Structure 1
């Protein structure tokens, strides 16, 4: 007997806003399945406002209201039973972030939770990676966003370290990252992986998903450091326009793909990882999982 419900999660990032709709399928005596039903992405680059001007522009604030109104209709149409929207780096750093979140709730009825970097890393770490994270292996999980990158070390089947850094693709293309930030990330990765002889990387985010989709690598197999290094050199030799017309990238992907690849490559180098697995799991997946965990906790509390 199956029990099926639909959950929805909104990830308000520095580069884009995403709505994920997932079917949560409970099976008696088996693990619960989380099946992605729909993903809608709107490229409102909030980070370009915030990291340069310190606040979200009136134009993009209005676009956010429109996007959330559209998401509200989709949530209603899908008969969603549990919903949560989380905003990350751009919204939490914007001087008017809280005011805009309040206005969106007044206009649409949808509450936006502005979370800090540690919460973001924890939500991402809660995603179901059982198929990859095994007790006898060590993984460096790297989730690259527009405003920040979250790093998590998994060893012996559990999280041993996690941290968020203001090293994001939108910051990088606007030349807003000091060399000291790269040095801090390098030091953190080396310090937290030095005791392990073999580390693999798990890459998360739209850019690594794009690379993996177009890599020709068999589904489930990892990308090698050698492949990523060659890919990095390839895309650097194309202009922004050529990446759109010849490499078939979306305009809002064609500029951030280079700094994103640099972050992944650097993380692999500092962690001495030879392979990068790409399970297509990110913040929105973590939100869905956390909503389900809350449901289970509610049921348990009622029993006791």
Structure 2
């Protein structure tokens, strides 16, 4: 029996998400959702540590989330932590303190589980059609790639090359220097050879991006069209030509100028430059005319699993 009400907490490296839902057998209703740029990876991710300032921001946010959960009298709380926490030497102590202080048990998921939950979220959104798609989710700590269809995932893998890591390694100047872009591209080529092998094997013909950076890119695109996204829409299309125009522009602007772009939100303004470089790199592997953007990702994948809509076929991870 699925709980009638549930709270999902996605403790990402850049953003903490809270989703309060009513669950039904064939659908869910969102009671409340919120995202806060905790930036738990800031100042420590390159040293495999959660910085004390980041811990303070995390605890402050979780206290706020706890009060919202209690306000809805929700007993079923599902909290997930990803790259920054799973790689941090002080991650276990951090998780214990969350349990002691807020009564929230955090499930620190590995990269394979994270990729699977993202796949569940993407397929739940209705983003997948008959084509074999390369799916990607750009987090602050890791990037997940899945190759599959609406029926099954053929291959999935998590790479610890997320936005905060790329920022720390390559984005020293603002606007970013062309040499830094070249160094980042060389780094991606070196670190994503397994993805290239999987693309060569399965030959995906569609590219689906989950949440985060892709949400912001489509927001910017919709502003150029003077259109509003509808609340009930989970899937958006971003023409390749429009993505290229937006990405090329982002590479020439500093932070203050990027913030002025209609559709830009402050929590994405730093990572969107290196994230756009990553998408450009992926488009060399899968040269599509249109990018499909799903605003369902890990937390909706958790809901899909709660509702029993998860994939029955285990994906192969190589």
TM range (shorter): 0.7 to 0.9
| In the alignment, structure 1 residue 5 sits paired with structure 2 residue 4 | yes
Summarize deviations over 1:63-114 as a string: whole Å, max 9, x none: 2222112111111222324221111110111111110110111011111111
Deviates more, 1:284-293 or 1:255-264: 284-293
| 2:22 counterpart residue number | 23
Q: Distance in 1 between the 2:128 and 2:9 partners? A: 26
What are structure 1's unaligned runs of at least 5 residues? 27-31, 295-304
Q: Distance in 1 between the 2:154 and 2:265 partners? A: 36
Question: Mapping of 1:24-173 within 5 angstroms?
Answer: 24-26=23-25, 32-127=26-121, 129=123, 131-134=126-129, 136-155=130-149, 157-173=151-167
Summarize deviations over 1:170-227 as a string: whole Å, max 9, x none: 1111116976651255433332233556611110131110111231278645212222
Q: Distance in 2 between the 1:189 and 1:48 partners? A: 27
Q: 1:153 to 1:174 in 2, by over 3 A?
A: same
Q: Please give the secondary structure, in 2, of the residue aligned with 1:132.
A: coil
Q: Distance in 2 between the 1:17 and 1:241 partners? A: 24
Q: Distance in 1 between the 2:127 and 2:240 partners? A: 18
Q: 1:197 to 1:106 in 2, by over 3 A?
A: closer
| 2:180 counterpart residue number | none
Q: Please give the secondary structure, in 2, of the residue aligned with 1:175.
A: helix
CA contact (8 A) 2:41 2:164 kept: yes
Choose from 203, 208, 229 the match for 2:209. 203
- Higher strand proportion (structure 1 or 2): 1
Choose from 255, 258, 281 the match for 1:243. 258
CA contact (8 A) 2:185 2:277 kept: no
| 1:284 counterpart residue number | 299
Q: Distance in 2 between the 1:253 and 1:194 partners? A: 32
CA contact (8 A) 1:15 1:43 kept: yes
Superposition TM-score, scaled by structure 1 size: 0.85
CA contact (8 A) 2:219 2:264 kept: no
Q: Distance in 1 between the 2:155 and 2:120 partners? A: 13
Q: Distance in 1 between the 2:75 and 2:303 partners? A: 11
CA contact (8 A) 1:198 1:273 kept: no
CA contact (8 A) 1:11 1:85 kept: yes
| 1:194 counterpart residue number | 200
Q: Please give the secondary structure, in 2, of the residue aligned with 1:66.
A: helix
Summarize deviations over 1:200-256 as a string: whole Å, max 9, x none: 111013111011123127864521222211110111222111111344633331111
Task: Report the RMSD for the aligned CA atoms in angstroms.
Answer: 2.6
Q: Distance in 2 between the 1:178 and 1:265 partners? A: 11
Aligned residue pair count: 287
Q: Please give the secondary structure, in 1, of the residue aligned with 2:221.
A: coil
Q: Distance in 1 between the 2:238 and 2:168 partners? A: 28
Deviates more, 1:192-201 or 1:77-86: 192-201
Q: Distance in 1 between the 2:46 and 2:203 partners? A: 41
Q: Please give the secondary structure, in 1, of the residue aligned with 2:10.
A: strand
Question: Mapping of 1:211-226 within 5 angstroms?
Answer: 211-216=217-222, 220-226=235-241
Q: Please give the secondary structure, in 1, of the residue aligned with 2:127.
A: coil
Q: Which has the higher contact order (CA 8 A, sep 6+)?
A: 2
CA contact (8 A) 1:19 1:39 kept: yes
Q: Distance in 2 between the 1:238 and 1:24 partners? A: 43
Q: 1:147 to 1:164 in 2, by over 3 A?
A: same
Q: Please give the secondary structure, in 1, of the residue aligned with 2:14.
A: coil
Q: Residue 127 of structure 1: CA displacement? A: 2.3
